[in-house]
Amino acid sequence: MEFTPIDKLNLDERIIKILKKKGIEKLNPVQTDAVNSGLLEGKRLLVTSPTGSGKTLIAELGIISHLLSNGGKAVYITPLKALTAEKYNELKDWEELGFKVGMTSGDYDSDDAWLKNYDIIVSTYEKIDSLWRHNPSWLSEVDYFVLDEFHYLNDEERGPVVESVAIRAKRKNLLALSATISNYEKIANWLNAIPVTTNWRPVPLREGVIVEGKKSYQVIFPDETIEIKGNDPIIAYTLYVLEHGGQVLVFRNSRKMAESTAKKISSSMGLLSLPDKELLKVGEEIKNVEDAGSDEKEELYELVVRGVAFHHAGLSKGLREIIERAFRERKIKVIVATPTLAAGVNLPARAVIIGDFHRFNRKILGYQEEIPIMEYKQMAGRAGRPGFDKEGEAVIVVRNKKEAEKVFKKYILSPPEPIESRLGNESAFYSFLLGIISSEKKISEDDLEDYAMDTLLDKDVAEKYVKRGITWLRDNEFIAGDDELVLTKFGKRVADLYINPFTAKVFKDYLTKSDKSCNIAYLHLVAYTPDGPTVSVTRSELEELVDEAPCPLFIEEPEDEDEFYNYVSALKVAMIINDWIEEVDEDVILGRYGIGSGDLRSIIDTMDWLTYSGYNVAKVLDLKEHYDVLYTLNLRVKDGVKEELLDLVKIQGVGRKRARILYNHGIKKPEDVVMNVDKVKSLLGQKIGEKIAKEAARLIAGNA
């Protein structure tokens, strides 16, 4: 494989200087292939190569070469906020050339006009899709798009947005980056791009299985079988890797399994896990995290001081960041995670153990389904730390030799599933159409059909959906016009809010025919929309929650079993948020509903967006009795407070706890803070009190 010294490339001297500062003297085979395929000359490329093979640098070279040659702006798009922050930090190095790097994600009801002053913008697929609907002038200057983690096109949830963005990006210049795509020729052809594909990895990967032998466990690789002793295959192989100086990532198919496996590994480590000073420091950080529940922190502390942690979406952002950093710094030796970790942050380990190749699916008889090959490849791809390991090892736990053969054939020897369009349902496709009409402002049916034909869908399917979609959007008053389609006032507001049109229809249908109700009813309505957050519901909750509703709900109880589950899930979300806005202690909420602090934050963020959207839909429809309630509800959801604290939480630095302390001592609005600075200092502490008094004064001056 070819490594190319950067001095031998046709690179601008300024680029070479920054690459050397980053410690890069040569391009690896993947990067060399991309350059040889025309990366620096602005050719459109689809680069598919394994995790950790240096695709980010390819993007950096593509962006900088394009900007130096053509001017304009470039956008780097990722599927996850965590990745956006990571890529933003890497691209900041290029500010030395005079290019300003900006980052944006979230807040979908905004055109981010401030980005007109930036040359390189890092964002998520959802945010870029929402920005197109707002049509800011700076977005028309973007003529180079990097579509990172492009295999997310195949994701049930995110795929429709990735495809929507790609359809518009491919009308400009683009670079798509992905892990292995089996049908890369078809996807490259669709993007009008040159495929650059390789299996080269900086650290070679060995893939195998763990199976029970006669007196021990056998780790079977194609070229070698290792015998290891122990009572549990995951623990036995983890200890084996640790004894040989490696780190381990274990993947389990549920949070409960991740947590219990981490505890078992920790208690089996013996002398290997005696706490040292570094781990005790990490443990103290865990204890002091502000955005997490007490039980979570206590559980993790006990594990982290022994070099083990669990990791899943139920953990708060603060906890996840500490665990990830300590693992990168090689302090934590073992992380047991759910598969979400494999798709997110860059955390390589010597060995990856996949504890389950089945996962829970409530819609399937028996509730178990085999994981996709792509998901396995994402997890296995984390094996091997560049600079630390000569090779990485990924193993799947199997029950017997027969299962081992099946797993080898399906997961290790087969390519991942081909990438297909996820726009093939009404909800996704109608949202796509609404977005196109919004970004174009007005468009003929023929031109809209051209966009539809540009999707990855079969042409007959796309034609059927576009005709039905136009009729549905017109019948439900999102669009108007005959020769040219335009958004109605209602349709434009829905497009700008970045909610699914079916969500807007739920708001419209129920609010226009219902009288005012209690907070739980509004929260349930919001959570029951297609955009609403979902939580798991126990059998007892299915029976009890409906009886606990304090007032009549807007939506009648459905008879369909699946719909009833969703109905109760939305009611559970409503009760969680109602507790939140009634200032119930976070630890109590977590315990009462069996959720994690990460779940709570995710639910709050989504319900904040949806109550805001519900308020705006009610306002554009002039439903005053509803929009007043939803407006207040949105303000309360944002900060988790009773109505009486809304004035205080407007002060920067004052959250629900500080606001309650101040209010209970007679300080009820920003003016009271300014008039009673000494009292505020005595209640909140000298430094914090002084800072909050300044913020209160600034707020009052801004409102004057």
For 98-108, how does the pLDDT look when each residue is reduced to its tens digit (9 = 90+)?
999 999 987 78
Q: What is the mean pLDDT of the chain?
A: 92
pTM above 0.85, yes or no: yes
pLDDT at 366 over 60: no
Q: What is the band of 364 on the pLDDT scale with cuts at 50, 70, 90?
A: low
**345-354 pLDDT, tens per residue?**
778 899 999 9
Q: What is the pLDDT of residue 176?
A: 98
Q: Which residues are annotated as a binding site?
A: 31
**586-595 pLDDT, tens per residue?**
999 999 999 9
- CB count within 10 Å of CB 601 equals 17
**502-548 pLDDT, tens per residue?**
999 999 999 999 888 899 999 999 999 999 999 999 888 888 888 88
CA 221 to chain CA centroid, Å, is 34
Domains in the chain (CATH in brackets) are 4-197 (3.40.50.300), 205-412 (3.40.50.300), 423-495 (1.10.10.10), 643-703 (1.10.150.20)
Question: Which DSSP symbol is given to 375?
Answer: H
Question: Which DSSP symbol is given to 120?
Answer: E
Q: What is the band of 466 on the pLDDT scale with cuts at 50, 70, 90?
A: very high
Q: Are strands 217-221 and 485-487 parallel, antiparallel or unpaired?
A: unpaired
Token pair listed for 690: 């002084």
Contact 325, 344 (CB under 8 A): no
Nearest to 9 by CA among 34, 1, 23: 34
pLDDT at 274 over 70: no
Q: Which residues are annotated as a binding site for ATP?
A: 31
Question: Which DSSP symbol is given to 371?
Answer: P
The mean pLDDT value for 112-119 works out to: 94
* Percentage of the residues of the chain whose pLDDT score is greater than 90: 81
- CB count within 10 Å of CB 268 equals 18
Q: What is the pLDDT of residue 180?
A: 80
pLDDT at 53 over 70: yes
Question: Which DSSP symbol is given to 486?
Answer: E
From residue 136, alpha-carbon distances to 71, 111, 112, 143, 162 in Å are 18, 6, 8, 14, 20
The phi-psi region of residue 558 (left if phi > 0; otherwise alpha if psi is between -120 and 50; otherwise beta) is beta
In sequence order, the 6+-apart residues with CB closer than 8 A to the CB of 321 are none
Q: What is the band of 221 on the pLDDT scale with cuts at 50, 70, 90?
A: very high
